[in-house]
Amino acid sequence: MSAPERFPKWLVAAAAIAAIPYCVAFHIGTMKSRAVEEFGKQGLAMLGIARQANAYACSHEGEWPPIDAVHKRFTVAPGLLPPSFHMGKAVEYPLESDTKAVLVGPIGRHSAVTLEPGVDPADYIYLPYAVASEEEAMTLVEAVRHGADPSKDISVETGKGTLGSNTFYRFRRDLHKKMAADHVIPHASSAVFANFPMFIQRPRDGHAWVIFADNHVAYLPYPGPFPLTKSFIAAVQ
Q: What pLDDT, on a 0 to 100 scale, did the predictor assign at position 156?
A: 95
Residue 198's nearest CA partner among 127, 121, 98, 109 is: 127
- What lies within 8 Å, CB to CB, of 76 at 6+ separation is 53, 65, 67, 68, 121, 122, 126
Q: What pLDDT, on a 0 to 100 scale, did the predictor assign at position 56?
A: 87
Residue pair 200/227 in contact by the 8 Å Cβ criterion: yes
Q: What pLDDT, on a 0 to 100 scale, did the predictor assign at position 101?
A: 64
CA distance 177 to 190: 8
Say if residue 49 is exposed, middle or buried (CB neighbours under 10 Å; 0-12, 13-18, 19+).
buried
Q: What pLDDT, on a 0 to 100 scale, did the predictor assign at position 25?
A: 47
pLDDT along the chain (237 residues), means of 10: 54 50 45 49 72 86 88 87 74 66 65 74 87 96 92 93 96 92 92 93 89 90 96 92
**Where are the domains positioned within the chain?**
9-84+120-237, 85-118
CA distance 47 to 25: 33
Q: What pLDDT, on a 0 to 100 scale, did the predictor assign at position 27?
A: 41
Which helix (H) or strand (E) segment holds residue 154: the answer is strand 154-155
Residue 142's nearest CA partner among 67, 237, 72, 228 is: 72
Q: What is the residue type of 120?
A: D
Query: 167 vs 10, 16, 67, 211, 228, CA distance in Å?
Result: 79, 70, 17, 22, 23
82 prior amide bond cis, ω within 30? no
Residue pair 72/145 in contact by the 8 Å Cβ criterion: yes
Which helix (H) or strand (E) segment holds residue 86: the answer is strand 85-91
Q: What pLDDT, on a 0 to 100 scale, did the predictor assign at position 165?
A: 96
